[in-house]
Each structure stands twice: as structure tokens, then as C-alpha cells.
Chain A
């Protein structure tokens, strides 16, 4: 589990969007040894990459269950049906709040519930690499804790996570490694523990 931290406007979200082929980028992007910079955005999920976008991006006029089904859109085959149903049950286990609201339109959920739905939807694609963009944004502290508990559990289940966060303390607490980005370039990299101890990080991002 890796995080990318940095101030507002440092280019963290743009980096994720470029990775997910949502915006054009120069140069090479490689994932699992293959170049993905030539692929269209909709082909990435087939490569095992899923993004839970900044601002959650749930389909407000689709129900919770339909949002989850959209996450498994590319798993269309008949033989996949049982596995998709199993994953749906697993997501509801991870997020009991979503199970209670499965028939509700996603637009009627609270911010935290929408964030859970966005993560759950991304997991429905069975990604090997999950990109999370600011999952704590706009959430109440208790909700942030609940969401990060789940993120930790997802990471333990074997999914690689690249987490983009403004809340550096939170991010470094759950991640193994971290990168610090300033004005579009990586200025520091290291284990999360080293970064937490680094005086530059402490001064700039932890408010000490």
C-alpha cells in the first residue's frame, strides 16, 4: 500500500487521472510490465486497474446495487455471474451501511456512504491495483476512520493500493511507503515510517 501526499494543487489527482487514462499524458506508463499509455480509459479495468475518483463520482440516479453492478460491468460472461454475486455479498459485508440501502438511489446517500460505495464499486471490478483519490475529502472524522479501516482491510486482502491524500498523517499511518509531491514532481520518497519522522515532512505536512 503506497501513498502519494502533497499540498493542494501539487498534481496528485492529475497523476492518478493520467494513470487511469482520463487525461492525456506524455511519456510512458507501465503497469505490470506492460505499457498502458496507449490504451483508452475503458480498457484499463480489464488490465486490473480501478480508480475510485476524487469527489466519489457515484451514479446519483442509479441505486446502490446498480452502482455496484456497474463496477462489475466488464465481467459480463455467464461464468462470471456467481463470482460477481459473491463479490457483491463480500462488499455488503465490508460495508453493512450499503447493504441496508441497496435499493436507494446513490444520490440520497451521505458523503461517507457515497465514498464507501465508490470504493465498493471499484472493488467489484476485482482490481489488482486500486487507485484511491482523496477518500477522506469532505467526510466527518468518524466516517474517515470507518473508511480507512475498510481501506486497510482491502489492502490486507491482497489488493495493491495507491492512495492519494492531502491528510498526510492519516495516509502515512496506513501505508507502507509514501511519496511526497510538490508542483508536479516527486521530492521525497521512502517508507511511511521514515517519512513520518522526516523533519521536512513534519514541518510541511504534519503542521509541526
Chain B
């Protein structure tokens, strides 16, 4: 029983991070109808720039919590600039191109970012200095670290704010209107390019946060870390129903828990033949399952309703 609870706790931690990244995919999909496959690399850039800032600030003898916050702010600014730049250079010229074109460009951007990061930071794994207290708490027989509590708490607060922004504010209303009909929204005075740039700005800030949190969780960062995380988060977005914000949150949390439980029990289930290194398999089982059984996702609308 305590293994179960332990894995659920671990899964919710991981799932919070998936959810933050999945929101970035789903925000952009909602407005542009394209999958921004470079989004995972923005997470990686967030993690590595935050690490660089952390090292610098620690050497200047700032207290750890201050370093954590400042490093995140630095990473967020870098990622937001990067996100807007990607949209401006790689996607905007292809706004009216066939759907495959921006998809291929996105993969290209992803490769470029990975290679640039490899040139800047090298191929090695970087240890991320622990900035949060390394205490553990007992909860219903599960061991929960302070890092996990911070991850889940910060992610929950951020996601709640995002939902309020999109559903309750003038800007969010303009985003939803543009997503539905950019031509008519323009008649109301909405500058679609500004809304799209803002969408990338928000998505990239979430990616930076996810990057900081995931490297705090595992204590490592490297140039290739965005690839798998990006694919998993994309799976989470599809699981929840791509284009649907609440769906991204649900999909992320669910995928995290499925993965953690799968990793926790795969050894028992296969009589020790497969170990927890097969953890990644579960996300893609889920992806295939969703695409076959419920392509619109858990909270997604039928595609016909969108047309």
C-alpha cells in the first residue's frame, strides 16, 4: 500500500511538470492549430539557463531561496524571448502554408536548439545544486520531499492563474476569440499577431518554470533533456484533448501517475524481466491507446465541432 501511495506522490510531481509543458503545446495548438515541436527544447533552455544563473548567483553568495527565484526569472525571460523569436522567424512566415510545413519547421527548430545547447553546454550531464531544503515528510506512509511539495504547489498555483487569465480576463477572451475566428476577432480590433506572440510568451514562461522544476526534481540538466519531456508532455496534451487547457492539466497529472505506477509495478508484473528503466514505455502506450480509442482526448471536443 505504501508503495502505491509513494508512486502516486511521485507521479503527481512528475505529472505537474508534464502538465505545465502540456499547457504550452495546447495553448499554441488552440490558437494556431499547429504542434510546436520545439516546445520541449524551450524547457531544456529554461533548465540550462537557470542552472547558469544559479551557479553565478551562488558564487555571489546569495541565499538559496533567492537564487531559486532569481534563476527562474532569468530563465523565464530568456525562454520568453526565445519563444517569441521562434514564432516570428519560423512560424509566422508559414501562417497560411499547408499544415505540414510549420510542423517540419518546428522539428528543425528543435534540432537547431538542441545542437546550439550542445555546443554551449557540452554533452555532459550537469549537476544542479540543491536550492530547496532536502527534508522529507511522512504522509500516509509515503515519503514526500520538500522539492516535491514545491513543484506540485507552484505548478498548481501557476495553472490556476493561467485558467483565470484565459477564462476571466479581457486578454483571455481575446485569445479565445482569436483561436476561434481570427478574421472576425480582427474586426473587433484584436491584433492577431500580438495575441499569438503573447501566447508564445506565456507558453515559454511555463516551459521555463517546468525546466527549473524538473531539474530541481532530478538534480541534473543536459542538452537532450527536452526531447523526451516534450514528447511526454505532448502525449499528455493529446490525452487530455489538445487545445483544451483543463485537458492538458488532467492529461499531465494522469500521465505522471500512470508512468510512476507503471515503473513501480513493472518488475512485479513481469516477474523481474523488465525493470523501471522501461518507464517511458507507458507514456507511449497511453498515446497509442488514446489515438486509437478516443482521438479527441478525455476532455476534447469532436473535431467536427471545431470546423
Q: Is this pair of chains taken from one and the same complex? A: yes
State whether B188 touches A73 (Cβ < 8 A). yes
Bound together, the chains give a CA A73 to CA B170 distance in angstroms of: 8
Which one of B173, B176, B180, B191 lies within 8 Å of A42 (CB-CB)? B191
A20: chain B residues at CB < 8 Å are 187
Question: Separation in Å of the B192 CB from the closest CB of chain A?
Answer: 7
Contact at A125–B188, with CB atoms within 8 Å? yes
Interfacial chain B residues near A50, Cβ < 8 Å: 187
Chain B residues in 8 Å Cβ range of A45? 187-189
A42 to B178, CA, bound (A): 12
Q: Report yes or no: B186 in contact with A66, Cβ–Cβ below 8 A.
A: no
A41 touches B173 (CB 8 A): no
Contacting pair A73 B184 (CB below 8 A)? no
The answer, yes or no, to whether B177 is at the interface (CB within 8 Å) is: yes
Instruction: Kindly report which residue of chain A lies nearest to residue B179, judged by CB atoms.
Output: A61
User: Is A40 in contact with chain B by the CB < 8 A criterion?
Assistant: yes
CB distance from A130 to the nearest CB of B (A): 12
- The answer to whether A18 has its CB under 8 Å from any CB of chain B is no
Which chain A residues lie closer than 8 Å to B180 at the CB level?
A: 59-62
**Residue A184, interface by CB 8 Å:** no
CB contact between B186 and one of A41, A60, A62 (< 8 Å): that residue: A41
Contact B170 A41, beta carbon cutoff 8 Å:
no
B174 at the A interface (CB under 8 A): yes
Chain B residues, Cβ within 8 Å of A44: 187, 189
- Distance of A83 Cα from B149 Cα, bound (Å): 46
CA distance A98 to B87 in the complex (A): 39
Tell whether, in the assembled complex, residue B170 and residue A42 are in contact, meaning their CB atoms are under 8 Å apart. no
- Does A76 count as interface, using CB distance less than 8 angstroms? yes
| B188: chain A residues within 8 A (beta carbon) | 42, 45, 70-71, 73-74, 121, 125
Contacting residues, chain A, for B173 (C-beta < 8 A): 62, 66, 69-70, 73
- Judge whether B219 is part of the interface by a CB distance below 8 angstroms: no
Contact indicator B187/A59 (Cβ below 8 Å): no
Residues on the A chain within 8 Å of B181, using CB: 57, 59
Residues of B within 8 Å of A61, CB to CB, are 176, 180
Q: Is B183 an interface residue (CB 8 A)?
A: yes
**CB neighbours of B186 from chain A (8 A):** 22, 40-42
Cα(A100)–Cα(B174), bound, Å: 24
Residues of A within 8 A of B189 (CB): 42-46, 73-74, 125
Q: State the CA gap A55–B116 with chains docked (Å).
A: 48
Enumerate A74-128 residues with CB–CB distance to B below 8 Å. Answer: 74, 76, 121-122, 125
Q: Which residues of B are found within 8 Å of A74, using beta-carbon distances?
A: 188-189
Interface size range on B against A: 10 to 19
Q: How many A-B residue pairs have CB under 8 A?
A: 69
B70 contacts chain A at the CB level, 8 A cutoff: no
- Which residue of B has the minimal Cβ distance to A55? B184
By a CB distance below 8 angstroms, the chain A residues around B144 are none
A147 at the interface (CB under 8 A from B): no
Whether B177 pairs with A70 at a CB distance below 8 angstroms is yes
Q: Which residues of A contact B190 (CB under 8 A)?
A: 42, 70, 73
A66 CB to nearest B CB, Å? 6
Docked pose: A74 CA to B189 CA in angstroms: 6
A132–B175 alpha-carbon span in the complex (Å): 25
Q: How far is the CB of A62 from chain B (nearest CB, A)?
A: 6
From A41, A62, A69, A76, contact of B187 by CB (8 A): A41
Q: Does B266 contact A (CB under 8 A)?
A: no
With A42-B192, A69-B170 as known contacts, state yes or no: A53 contacts B187, CB within 8 Å. Answer: yes
For residue A51, CB closer than 8 A to chain B, the reply is: yes
Taking the nearest CB of chain A, how far is it from the CB of B189, in angstroms? Answer: 3
Q: Which residues of A contact B298 (CB under 8 A)?
A: none
- Chain B: which residue is nearest A53 at the CB level? B184
Q: Of all chain A residues, which has the CB nearest B301?
A: A61
B185 touches A (CB below 8 Å)? yes
Contact flags A149-183 to B (C-beta < 8 A → 1, else 0): 00000000000000000000000000000000000
Please, how many angstroms separate the alpha-carbon atoms of A42 and B183 in the complex?
Answer: 9
User: B37: shortest Cβ distance to chain A, in Å?
Assistant: 26
Pairs across A and B, CB under 8 Å, 24 listed: A22-B183, A41-B183, A42-B186, A42-B187, A42-B192, A44-B187, A44-B189, A50-B187, A51-B187, A53-B184, A57-B184, A57-B187, A59-B181, A59-B184, A60-B180, A61-B180, A66-B176, A69-B170, A69-B173, A70-B190, A73-B173, A73-B174, A73-B188, A121-B188
10 additional A-B residue pairs with CB within 8 Å, beyond A42-B191, A70-B173: A22-B183, A40-B191, A41-B183, A41-B187, A42-B188, A45-B188, A53-B184, A57-B184, A70-B188, A70-B190
The list of the 9 closest CB pairs from A to B, nearest first, reads A74-B189, A57-B184, A45-B189, A41-B186, A42-B186, A73-B188, A42-B191, A70-B188, A59-B177
